[in-house]
Structure 1
Amino acid sequence: MTRLALLGGEPLLTPAERPKWPNITEEDIGAVTALLRRGEITYNGSEGEVQALENGYRERLGAAHALAVNSGTSALHSAFFGLDLRPGDEVIAPAYTFLATAMPVFTCNGVPVLADVDPDTGILDPDGLAAHLTPRTKAVVVTHLMGFPADMERITAFAREHGLAVVEDCSQAHGAECSGRPVGRHGDVAAFSLQAKKQVTAGEGGVLVTDDRRIYERAVMLGHCIDRGEEDVTSDEYGAYGRTGFGLNYRIHPVGAALARGALARLDTVLTGRERNYGRLGALLDDIPGITPPVRQRHVDRVAHYVSYQPLYVAEELGGLPVDVFTAAVRAEGVPLTRPTSPPLHREAAFRSPSWHPGTYHPGDNTYRVYRGDEFPGVDAYIARALRLPTYSDERPDLMDAWAEGIRKVVTHAEELRDRHAAGALAA
């Protein structure tokens, strides 16, 4: 092949246009315009576009209850509140996830206890859960990372054995399936984010789903009141408190609900396009040393590729070529390859500083966990190898083929790159 662009040659590819997302359609614009013309810009109960969105999630997932809220974080907060956590209750959470998976536990007076992930997937490792059990453990929360489902059969079996609740963070995995069921239908309660990058988007929004009436009523009380509270909080335990709730306002905006309803109707089309693109790319990467497609474990029935497709780097197949040198060389060829940038939770100040705590506990309380930042080898192994490529929803076989050729060109020149790097002619 021709000389590498990183070493002065011509790039193999002209960088493609960025993926168009979110995909706002004329139907979406029409639905929003109709709301504005009717002056329908807020609801007090489950009605109109909010009711339609909630019905859509109930019907798609076969869930008894769905509650639309103003963000995925609010959905997770509502889920943890729904579990009725008490001061000092512990929730096992993956160390590698978005902060909203764990941080709302603090606001419920609980304690997130971080656990390691599978080094091949970055997803909570069922084999490591037992090490974190204490008499205070109340629940496990799991993230379906980048649209790849966790092994929910093993996680829920562990939870049932030990009397724990299971919260599914499905924020990155709308439409994913595992072990014969959609994500969101394996645990006790699930949260979906409708943020702008998600497969179903409201711009900002979220949805909680559960079959558990008590969890649902508590979730309603946390973020709703008046009409919605009186409609849905009817049990002997909580019925008297539905009107006031707990003073928060987690209602989703009707405009966001309308956008999400339209996106939910298109979800399968979006996922099919992504599956075809990255199925094709994965087959091509299988034949290229130094890089492998994301690991798809046996329990996974359907992947809902999120904002990034994350193959893994295999440095030993390229003689130990540093991942940053490989990434820079691939990018120079016009392939938009990057690496993850968000630190895992155990390296964030909230989990490393004994002098800070966002909840009700005081520094030094033995319920608060402080991490050094090197406790989780699975997290470190995954981050060291994970790569990122942008996700396209419209079918782009030409682009997938071009990316593979750009990567193959760099792999062909791996020895030259290693020599240049060893001689100090390339940055690490």
Structure 2
Amino acid sequence: MTSTGLAATAPAIDHPQQWPVYDGQAVARATDLIRAGRTFDYRHGPEIAEIEQLFADHLDGRHVLAVNSGTSALLAAYYVLGLGPGDEVLVPSLTFLATASPLFVLGATPVLCDSGSANGNVTVASLAERITSRTRAIAVTHLFGHPCPMAEIAQLARERSLALIEDCSHAHGSTIDGVPVGTFGDLAVFSIGGLKLVSGGMGGVLACRDTRHYDLACLLSSFRQRSNLTVRDPALRRLADVGLGGNLRISPVAAVLASSHMRRLDALVRAKHDNATALVAALCTHPGIEGLGVAAGHTMGGWYDIVLRVDPLRAGFDRDDLVAALKRHGVRAGVPQTAPLHRTSVFTGARPPTWHAYSPATLRRRFTYAPEDLPVSARLHDEWISLPATYFNEPQEDLLGAYRRAAERALSDLAATR
């Protein structure tokens, strides 16, 4: 035993390559593009058309534009809605920063909303109480792959004449009563970069219900060839030679890599579900440790993070104790990087928004939050532990067994110190 009363550091667990992993066909296609010098596409070549069609088929025929990141897709979504100075958009505090930060570019103001305790998703009540005469839109994040209550949120948006944007960057393959997320709002955004279940390294997707939104997004993303080919409205197509000031194109290399994952989406979702639920079950044998709630009729899809909650009063130890114990036994445990935005310096008043293009006194007030303003978001993040989901997108029996054994030893160590 160490001086802390816990077992000494155990041998490291052998981990496979971290996601994204690509099969031979995807690597060959990407290599062919590189050798041919086709790492960019100003038009609408087959690689770009392929990833867009795969998402369109998945999303019930939505108009789909592939861009260079999920952040760019969110910027395009807010841009096509005409958001600008004085406009407010309701966003969750518990989300990746890009759900809010593109609004700064447009001069609009993100208004942060609190979470529900079941899984951290924004609540309808928190959204409703923050609507003002300046509110123009609602943006929701399907956090870690947990679908938000979209029927209720969509009803609220309709009743208050607000646009609705779904940030599905964590939720590839998540469904509500068999219907994929990304089809409930006016606009939907997916990241297809980084560690996402569908990843081309860097990329994003914007899915539009309305053809005008799609046309405007094309013009923001691509001037000349692409917009001339795909913008439907002749009046808007006249702007194609100059575009609308952006250059958000995805690389064909990223597109073919993401397409290889998208074609395997159902199999990837099944493997992720089996692995994640087994890991959660291994830790939830201890009182006070529980997985996040999945509502009836909802499926998790991408499981961007495998997150559990530690109730220190019931468990006899806190989140940090469990993370440390798991790490000692080789588990790459940690704290979710998706943290409450209202705790960041931009939203605490530590750095007033003088950097914002439009920063009158009213804007400064709207950017300033105290920790107690959104208490559930803050408390949840303090109690959450994350397991490394990116190793579990495919069957991993050996790693799963090693993690189960490590969890048993870690919990035994903690029990010995109580």
String of CA shifts for 1:63-106, please: whole Å, max 9, x gaps.
Answer: 33110111110000001111111321110000111110111112
Query: 1:272: how far off?
Result: 1.4
Measured in 2, the distance between the counterparts of 1:396 and 1:37 equals 34
Corresponding position: 1:346 with 2:359: no
Is 2:325–2:413's contact at 8 Å kept on the other side of the alignment? no
State the partner residue of 1:77. Answer: 75
Measured in 2, the distance between the counterparts of 1:94 and 1:80 equals 16
Question: What code does the residue aligned with 2:118 have?
Answer: D
State the partner residue of 1:278. Answer: 276
Tell me the SS of whatever aligns to 2:270: helix
Query: 1:131: how far off?
Result: 0.9
Is 1:72–1:195's contact at 8 Å kept on the other side of the alignment? yes
Is 1:290–1:315's contact at 8 Å kept on the other side of the alignment? yes
Is 1:4–1:329's contact at 8 Å kept on the other side of the alignment? no
Query: 1:135: how far off?
Result: 0.8
- TM-score w.r.t. the length of structure 1 is 0.90
State the partner residue of 1:269. Answer: 267
Measured in 2, the distance between the counterparts of 1:201 and 1:167 equals 21
State the partner residue of 1:312. Answer: 309
The alignment's C-alpha RMSD in Å is 2.3
* Residues 217-236 of structure 1 mapped to structure 2, 5 A cutoff: 217-235=215-233
* Residues 81-120 of structure 1 mapped to structure 2, 5 A cutoff: 81-120=79-118
* Residues 292-307 of structure 1 mapped to structure 2, 5 A cutoff: 292-306=290-304
- TM-score w.r.t. the length of structure 2 is 0.92
1:99 and 1:334, CA in 2 relative to 1: closer, same or farther beyond 3 A? Answer: same
Ranges in structure 2 where 5+ consecutive residues have no aligned partner? none
1:9 and 1:355, CA in 2 relative to 1: closer, same or farther beyond 3 A? Answer: closer
Measured in 1, the distance between the counterparts of 2:4 and 2:399 equals 21
Tell me the SS of whatever aligns to 2:352: coil
State the partner residue of 2:325. Answer: 329
1:184 and 1:94, CA in 2 relative to 1: closer, same or farther beyond 3 A? Answer: same
Is 2:15–2:399's contact at 8 Å kept on the other side of the alignment? no
* Pick aligned residue for 1:150 from 142, 148, 151: 148
State the partner residue of 1:422. Answer: none
Which is further off, 32-41 or 175-184?
32-41
Ranges in structure 1 where 5+ consecutive residues have no aligned partner? 419-428
Is 1:67–1:208's contact at 8 Å kept on the other side of the alignment? yes
1:400 and 1:316, CA in 2 relative to 1: closer, same or farther beyond 3 A? Answer: farther
* Pick aligned residue for 2:195 from 194, 197, 205: 197
Which is further off, 277-286 or 135-144?
277-286
Identity %: 32
* Residues 31-46 of structure 1 mapped to structure 2, 5 A cutoff: 31-46=29-44
State the partner residue of 2:407. Answer: 407
State the partner residue of 1:377. Answer: 375
1:4 and 1:19, CA in 2 relative to 1: closer, same or farther beyond 3 A? Answer: farther
* Residues 239-258 of structure 1 mapped to structure 2, 5 A cutoff: 239-258=237-256
Is 1:289–1:318's contact at 8 Å kept on the other side of the alignment? yes
Is 2:272–2:394's contact at 8 Å kept on the other side of the alignment? yes
State the partner residue of 1:355. Answer: 352
Corresponding position: 1:291 with 2:328: no
Question: What code does the residue aligned with 1:105 have?
Answer: L
1:196 and 1:342, CA in 2 relative to 1: closer, same or farther beyond 3 A? Answer: closer
String of CA shifts for 1:348-386, please: whole Å, max 9, x gaps.
Answer: 222233632443212423474322333111111211211
Is 1:330–1:407's contact at 8 Å kept on the other side of the alignment? yes
Query: 1:8: how far off?
Result: 5.2
* Residues 47-66 of structure 1 mapped to structure 2, 5 A cutoff: 47-66=45-64
Is 1:119–1:378's contact at 8 Å kept on the other side of the alignment? yes
String of CA shifts for 1:134-185, please: whole Å, max 9, x gaps.
Answer: 0111111111111221111111111111111111111111111123311111
Measured in 1, the distance between the counterparts of 2:367 and 2:135 equals 13
